[in-house]
Amino acid sequence: MTQRRAVATGGASAPEICVVGGGVIGLTSAVVLAEAGYRVRVVARDTAGDTTSAVAGGLCWPYRIQPYADAVRWSLRSLEVLGELAGRPTQTGARLVTGTFASEPAADGGDAGLEAGLDAWYAALPGLRRARAGELPAGCGAGWRARTPLVDMPVHLGYLERRLVAAGGTVVAGAVASLAQAADGVRAVVNCSGLGARELVPDASVHPVQGQLVIVENPGVTEWFTAADAGAEDTAYVLPQPFGLVLGGTAREGAWSREPDPAVAAAIVARCARYFPEVARARVLAHRVGLRPARPAVRLAAERLPDGTACVHNYGHGGAGVTVSWGCADEVLRLVRAEFAPAQGSTGVPTAT
């Protein structure tokens, strides 16, 4: 396996587990495994800052992910962990931020705008309630208020790498041509290759959902806002991050380009300006494009590779990577333990350290 860069050496012991992929799913899985006592090596084609995770807006919400029942369960675990990490935002990148998601007014007073299948998620959200008229931005007829983690992804990814190294794990940069190659010399492989699973597994059901964002100087917006229909190609959301105000976005099925489209960027700013007119005059700081690793359903399951090595697949999280990351990592640990005995003295309980 080619290794170009070692982030940490992690001691003399050979790794037991190779995690393929250095995005939020791979790093969180690796942290949970390492803190449970396993010797873990992450092999990443891209540095954390160059992954799709680094481009994500960072709002904790189960968006464009199936199946809902599992996604909600995983999201609730992440809500718990990220809520704890929000106590140290400069270190972890996580903050608890109040915001509004737009909905259509309900003629009968019902729960308009609450998407079916997410009941447990809504029940757990701190302060979830209907928005009062004075709390709605211009052009928004109705909405719901809630407080949820908003994650500065570049900072969070750096935190996860440091936490992994502190637990004895390693991160190396390198290309993995096959799962068999990843399995060389280890007892288990955890496949968190995201969109790369299309070729690595191979799994033809994995496909990109392109998302484009515009980062502008924040004119004073302190709360998040979203008017994002789960199935729409063009959405509107505004996310205040320490590095600027994130304006989104798009969700283009099957689009592979990572180059920002100026016309799309202008349309994003225009959509967000309907609700926050001040963003139309804000100075543009950056344009970002990421490819969400979509699949009809998340693949989180174990199998044996032809040589007998245990392999746990953890990919296909669509637009909800950070939202489900800790819940999925718990499941990875459970599956690894089912494949072989856990490390001596391990507890298997991830903590917000």
Output the pLDDT for position 13.
64
Question: What is the per-residue pLDDT for 88?
Answer: 98
Would you place residue 348 in the very low, low, confident or very high pLDDT band (cuts 50, 70, 90)? very low
Q: How confident is the model at residue 34 (pLDDT cuts 50, 70, 90)?
A: very high
Supply the pLDDT for residue 231: 75
What is residue 138's predicted lDDT score, i.e. its pLDDT?
87
User: pLDDT at residue 36 above 70?
Assistant: yes
Range in 49-63, 144-158, 308-322 with the lowest mean pLDDT:
49-63
Which pair of tokens denotes residue 217?
């100087």
Q: Is the pLDDT of residue 185 over 60?
A: yes
Q: What is the mean pLDDT of residues 309-333?
A: 97
Question: What is the rounded average pLDDT of the residues 78-93?
Answer: 98
pLDDT at site 347: 46
% pLDDT > 90, the chain: 81
Task: Give the chain's domains with CATH numbers.
Answer: 1-97+150-206+296-353 (3.40.50.720), 98-149+207-294 (3.30.9.10)
Query: Cα separations (Å) of 74 from 79, 120, 321?
Result: 9, 11, 10
pTM: 0.91
